Amino acid sequence: MTQTVLVTGATGLLGREVLRVFQRASGWEAVGQGLTRADPPAILKVDLQDAGEIEKLLDEVKPQVVVHCAANRFPDQCESNPELARVINVTASRALAQATSSRSILLIYISTDYVFPGRPGEAPYEASSVTDPTNIYGVTKRDGEDAVLEATRDSGLGVILRVPVLYGRTNTSSESDVNTLVDAVWKAQDSNAGLKMDDWAQRYPTNTEDVARVCRDIAVKYLSEKDQVTLLPKILQFSSEDRMTKYEICETLAEVLGVPLPGMTGNQQGNDPSAAVQRPFDTHLSTQALKDLGIEVHTQDFKSWWRREMRAFRH
């Protein structure tokens, strides 16, 4: 029997990949939702800030699963406009969870490693670890988690999937904090560029293709055990094990491109106490909860993926 999945934020970095993976999977029909970049009928244009539009969308698509990728996921934007961040990351997520739960639809809410403080010596964090975000983005995503779990408590059909910084195929490099570092590498070809790149915070860049695969596997697992879904874990985490600072990512990208970095230096000073956004040192996510479910947690090798992606640019 064919199952239907609805992917919110299907025009974004992760949503596009989740939609593509489900579209290619046997036994699935995939429908995407977007807003400003939606292109009907391929991607339905629906404002998730309107609870009535959410309910109309669900009644029209009739999905068995919703993968909720739509979010304000840029920490600087969240810090500058916390009210808007809360509307998107919390209020809309709560309305969606209430609507899916009342219709017996499984909801997979994409969250972030930034729900953790990332203090030195604490990582890796288990799915059960206490959250304590250090910035508005992390706070709104943590509150979004709470809203989803509360709205789906009775049905048991709400699942949180935390992921770290993502990279993958983009329309513009600015969609990903990793992809945009390719632009920084090119700027650093100028020995006078004077670029200082963070060489302090530990990051675990994870490919959107791998996250999309895990979303599909979660959907299959939870639907297959829907009669006992209340017994399944409600918080899951997925991450690569490729540990790098932003400066080390730039070094890797430069190596792949076959170029030096004369105009870039690493900055190991850590957070500027006066900076608007305080970023965690290390929020490495444990994937044990996924492993316990029998879901594969392997990821693509960072350097190998970029070698394939950028082969046309190599000298």
pLDDT for 172-201, tens place per residue? 999 999 999 999 999 999 999 999 999 999
- What mean pLDDT, rounded, does the chain reach? 95
pTM for the predicted model, two decimal places: 0.96
List the one residue out of 187, 176, 256 whose CA is nearest residue 209: 176
pLDDT band at 271 (very low <50, low <70, confident <90, very high): confident
- Cα–Cα distances in angstroms (integers) from residue 224 to residues 1, 178, 249, in the given order: 12, 35, 39
Mean pLDDT of the region 246-265? 97
Tell me the one-letter amino acid at 90: V
Going by pLDDT thresholds of 50, 70 and 90, the confidence category of residue 107 is very high
Q: Please count the other Cβ atoms lying within 10 Å of the Cβ belonging to residue 88.
A: 20
Output the six-digit token pair for 179.
């992809």
Q: Dump strand ranges (E) for the chain.
A: 3-8, 28-34, 43-45, 65-68, 106-112, 158-163, 166-167, 195-198, 206-207, 235-237, 264-267
Per-residue model confidence (pLDDT) at position 61: 97
Report whether pLDDT(27) > 70. Answer: yes
Number of neighbouring beta carbons within 10 Å of residue 309: 16
Which pLDDT band holds residue 315 (cuts at 50, 70, 90)?
very low
d(CA 293, CA 285): 16
Query: pLDDT tier at 104 (50, 70, 90 boundaries)?
Result: very high
Please list the active-site residues.
Answer: 137
Whether the per-residue pLDDT at 311 is higher than 90: the answer is: no
pLDDT band at 40 (very low <50, low <70, confident <90, very high): confident
Alpha carbon 140 to chain centroid distance? Answer: 14
Q: Is the pLDDT of residue 312 over 60?
A: no
Long-range contacts of range 248-251, CB-CB < 8 Å, 24 or more positions apart?
Answer: 248/199, 249/178, 249/181, 249/203, 249/205, 250/181, 250/184, 250/185, 250/188, 250/197
Burial of 194 (0-12, 13-18, 19+ CB in 10 A): exposed
How far apart are alpha carbons 218 and 290 in whole angstroms?
9
Task: Please list, in sequence order, all residues whose beta carbon lies within 8 angstroms of the beta carbon of residue 224, skipping any fewer than 6 positions away.
Answer: none
Compute the radius of gyration of the chain from its Cα atoms. 19
Q: Are the C-beta atoms of 215 and 174 separated by less than 8 Å?
A: no
Q: How confident is the model at residue 147 (pLDDT cuts 50, 70, 90)?
A: very high
Q: Which fold does the domain 3-168+205-241+284-292 belong to in CATH?
A: Rossmann fold (3.40.50)
For the segment 204-232, what is each residue's pLDDT rounded down to a tens digit?
Answer: 999 999 999 999 999 999 999 999 999 99
Q: Yes or no: say if 253 and 183 are a contact pair by the CB < 8 Å rule.
A: no
Q: What is the rounded distance in angstroms from the CA atom of residue 304 to the CA atom of residue 315?
A: 17
Residue with tokens 């500027």: 272
Q: Cβ distance 215 to 160 under 8 Å? A: no
- Once rounded to an integer, what is the mean pLDDT over residues 153-167? 97
pLDDT band at 37 (very low <50, low <70, confident <90, very high): confident
pLDDT above 60: residue 130: yes
| Cα–Cα distance, 221 to 294 (Å, whole number) | 9
**Residue 153 burial by CB count (10 A; 0-12/13-18/19+): exposed, middle or buried?**
middle
Confidence check: pLDDT of 9 > 50: yes
- The side-by-side arrangement of strands in the sheet containing 43-45 is 43-45, 28-34, 3-8, 65-68, 106-112, 158-163, 235-237
